[in-house]
A and B are shown apart, each in its own frame.
Chain A
Amino acid sequence: MIAFLLRRVGQIIPTLIILSFLIFGLQQLMPGDPAVILAGEERGDPQVLAQIRAELKLDRPIWEQYLNWVGNVVQGDFGFSWRIRMPVAELILQKLPVTAQLATMAFIIGVVIGVPLGILSATRRDTPADFLANGIALFGISTPNFWLGIMMILLFSVQLGWLPPSGYVPLWEDPVQSLSTTIMPAFVLGTGVASVLMRHTRAAMLTALSQDYVRTARAKGLAEKVVVWKHALRNALIPVVTLGTIEFGRLLAGAVLTEQIFTIPGFGKLVVDAVFNRDYPVVQGVVLATALIFVVLSLVADLLYMAINPRLRTA
């Protein structure tokens, strides 16, 4: 197990190094001179430009800029926002709890809808129930999140007036208000997760139900309920748990448009605002942070896979 862990961490390191090249390289795609963008009205003044370049070390050779940047990132310094005038790492930590709450709620909704639907459609294969469940999943995958969000605002806020269309209240300040502002965006995000989990649960259950041990269990006269819930499901859930962990990572970062539509001040709103303000260090920082979260969660997924799959425990 420890050997596996070390090997897995060893694999991450080259990925992280390449990731650092890619994210640093984003800056080089930028049209125009960052100093000119930052100078704004004073862009005609060569002295101001020179000062900005010196301050941001833009006048140094590219490899030195890179090493500098990586050195800072390793120490937790993700750069400094050009517009908000705050360290990027601090900004991200500020927004993370908001998105984490949203993602957790969305994930719960996704699991509660997706996993039972997957089990249902696998155990009633080729029946109307299976067809319906597959249809729901296909709809979930084909509906753009942001449009579903707009439609929900139209129905529940504009027409019925049941829920506030936007805004956010932290959970610890006013739990009821907090839930009423986040339930719609969480549902919108949850439908995507539900569709993916449904399809994977269904596939895993179908595989499990065709295994010899299930046939044995049926042959020795066990009730179908026991066969499905105890024998098949336990094994089918192993890949689903791994996938769920990765889906959770996607949610943390995938809330971009949903947060934009419901004006929830999380990760997604941060990156979109940064794009419009041409606050490139923040864009870079968010890309880096989401990638790091994703890499860590895939590691967690692998470890979970080991922990719940007894066959791999001794390997």
Chain B
Amino acid sequence: MSASAIPAALERGESPARRALRRFFRHKLAVVGLVVVLAFVLIALLAPWIAPYDPIETSWSRIRKPPSAEHWFGTDENGRDVLSRVIWGARASLMAGVVSVLGAIAIGVPLGLLAGLAGGWVDALLSRIADAMLSVPFLILAIALAAFLGPALENAMLAIAITASPVFVRLARGMALDAKSTDWVEAARALGNPPWRTALVHVLPNIVPPLLVQGTLAIAEAIIAEASLSFLGLGQQPPSPSWGSMLNSAQRFLDPAPWLAIAPGVAIFVVVLAFNLMGDGLRDALDPRADRK
């Protein structure tokens, strides 16, 4: 099936990366996802300049005012501007999503490569550890870790990173096993390359495409996990704004101030949806077998 795809790509003189980019940009929804993600990154970076009010300054005269021209998303139970808190909250959410997934990759990929390339008891041990961690439901393990580490955004990120790492162990291990049986790795080994060099130069680059897909989808999951932990009070600590903790206080004022529950929830939903769209688009773009003519 890919036999016809390869000459076509070669004819155009296209590198695999360029072909993937072309396919990604043909995928309209994925591009929408990318644009939304970039918009939120900008909002998070520019928060001090674009937020209309101080996100933690309280005001007695502005307690729980519905949305208006001055306060587009209304004000909260302490008289703080909801829009400004949502804007600043993007920092906590995006940082938690990206940092915890990078952490999960930093823990998972080296261990997975080691397991796949070393084989034997090393592989058996690492695989069983991954199995054991995967048998505890994601959120329960994250909550337990965050609880034992103590409530703080950094600890929540660490807990999510550890909880998400076995998926990357499995991914890297699978790819390493696949690569091990290929001729180029066999050749690299026959030439006398040390195992670490084989792993870094010959196996790792092949893992990058699936890693990108899995990583993007994992960020979506990590953002929900951080919001969940913050909702429970195990993430970002008050008065610093985070979407999860905003929803926690919103829940107590559903009757008198329903607007408090809308904006932070929509923000989480939109960002997570955008990362999911991007991940799906990347999967289609990077799958070498999925080249439709």
A interface residues with partner B (beta carbon < 8 Å): 14-16, 18-19, 22, 26-27, 29-31, 138-139, 141-144, 146-147, 150-151, 153-154, 158-159, 165, 249-250, 253-254, 256-257, 260-261, 271-272, 275-276, 280, 283-284, 286-287, 290-291, 294-295, 298
Contacts and interface: CB of A to CB of B under 8 A. Distances in A.
B141 A147 contact: no
A22 B137 contact: no
Nearest to A22: B132
Given A26-B148, A283-B148, A146 B231 contact: yes
A275 to B, nearest CB: 4
Contacts of A253: 137, 139-140
A27 B250 CA distance: 33
B25 to A, nearest CB: 20
A26 B224 contact: no
B231 A283 contact: no
B127 to A, nearest CB: 9
A150 B250 contact: yes
A22 B251 contact: no
B164 interface: no
B265 A291 contact: no
Given A31-B149, A144-B268, A257-B228, A271 B143 contact: yes
A151 B140 contact: no
A117 B258 CA distance: 33
A287 B273 contact: no
Given A26-B145, A150-B250, A295-B135, 9 more contacts: A19-B132, A138-B277, A146-B231, A147-B264, A165-B254, A256-B140, A290-B137, A291-B132, A294-B135
Contacts of B141: 287
> Which DSSP category, helix, strand, loop or mixed, fits chain A's interface?
helix
Interface residues of B, number: 43
Nearest to B147: A275
B144 A26 contact: yes
B254 A280 contact: no
A141 B145 CA distance: 24
B135 A29 contact: no
Contact of A147 (B140, B144, B233, B268): B268
B63 interface: no
B234 interface: yes
Contacts of A19: 132, 135-136
B131 interface: yes
B177 to A, nearest CB: 18
Contacts of A298: 135
B47 interface: no
A297 to B, nearest CB: 10
Contacts of A257: 139, 228, 231-232
Contacts of B232: 257, 260, 272, 275
Nearest to A143: B269
A287 B144 contact: yes
Interface in B68-121: none
A30 B269 contact: no
Interface string B238-282: 000000000100110011001001001100110011001100100
